[in-house]
Amino acid sequence: MIDYARYELSKGQRAGAAVAGCLFCFAAAWMLCRQPVVSVLAAPVGLGYPRLLRKRLQAGRKLKLRLQFKEMLQALSSLLAAGRSVENAFLGLENDLSILIADARSDLLRELRAISVRLHNGEPLEPMLRDFAGRSDSEEIRHFSEAFTVSKRAGGDLIEIVRGTSQLIAEKLDVELEISVLMSQKRFESRIMMTMPFAFIGFLGFFAPEYMEPLRHGVGWLLLSVCLGLLGLCCWWMVRIMSIEV
């Protein structure tokens, strides 16, 4: 089963990201210094791009799982309110969610298929939910699993627990989306700020190469190399500032 706390890139993704990162770093260093040695030495910095890509894809997968889990709770609440038992409700979730989730290979549908198979084999539901919650790396799913297990054993109101968890996830996602909308303009501005130095130096190097020539010899190339490092540090810092977790 999938461990959502980890994300492994395929060999093609890893190789493509590494090549793209190295080419970008080589081009950026060449644009600034026009020194082959400096450009070749700067290229390996791009080998860190697969790690950044992996984190971004992992965050996207976790967000999609949380959104689908929210829909699952709403469907589960409806099935329980209709009078189905807990086990029968989980058995019917896959059919209900397949209408809402177009991708039949989605992570949540695969988890529900596995739960259905294990339920048909007579396994109890609580260990399955605990296993899924432990692998999900999601606070909301873990909270639901714990509340569901305690309520089922103590005879609590499962419908209210499902509705409460669904509302909690919906409110948290709404806050995240609002922050994302508010920060979208700032993210766009930060991307412009990160690309403008390269565009400006590239413009000067293409239309006025004699103006940049003193910076490509002697101490000039060292100064540009230091500026390249400082620019990379600023880009990293801006990405950290723009990354807000709720």
> In Å, how far are 71, 126, 136, 173 from 131, measured between CA atoms?
20, 9, 9, 23
User: Of 23, 14, 22, nearest to 50 (Cα)?
Assistant: 14
Cβ atoms of 21 and 49 within 8 Å: the answer is yes
Helix ranges restricted to H, the chain: 11-33, 36-42, 49-81, 86-100, 107-120, 125-136, 139-154, 158-207, 209-212, 219-242
What is the per-residue pLDDT for 13? 93
pLDDT attached to residue 193: 81
Alpha-carbon span 41 to 44, nearest angstrom: 7
Q: Is residue 149 a contact partner of residue 158, using CB atoms and an 8 Å limit?
A: no
What is the structure's pLDDT at 117? 92
Nearest of 21, 41, 75 to residue 222 by alpha carbon: 41
**pLDDT in the model for residue 244:** 61
pTM exceeding 0.75: yes
For the chain, the straight-line distance linking the first and the last C-alpha, in angstroms and rounded, comes to 27
Give one DSSP letter per residue of 69-119, joined into a string: HHHHHHHHHHHHHTT--HHHHHHHHHHHHHHH---TT-HHHHHHHHHHHHH
Blockwise average pLDDT, block size 10, the chain, 246 residues: 87 94 87 79 90 89 87 85 85 87 86 92 90 89 85 75 77 79 79 81 78 74 76 80 65
Quick one: pLDDT at residue 245?
Answer: 60
List, for residues 120-170, the tens digit of each pLDDT value.
998 888 899 999 999 998 888 888 888 888 877 777 677 777 777 777 877
How does pLDDT run across 148-162, given as a tens digit for each residue? 888 777 776 777 777
Contacts of 119-126 with CB under 8 Å at 24 or more apart are 119/87, 119/90, 119/91, 120/91, 125/86, 125/87, 125/90, 125/152, 126/152, 126/153
| DSSP-based three-state secondary structure for 2 | coil
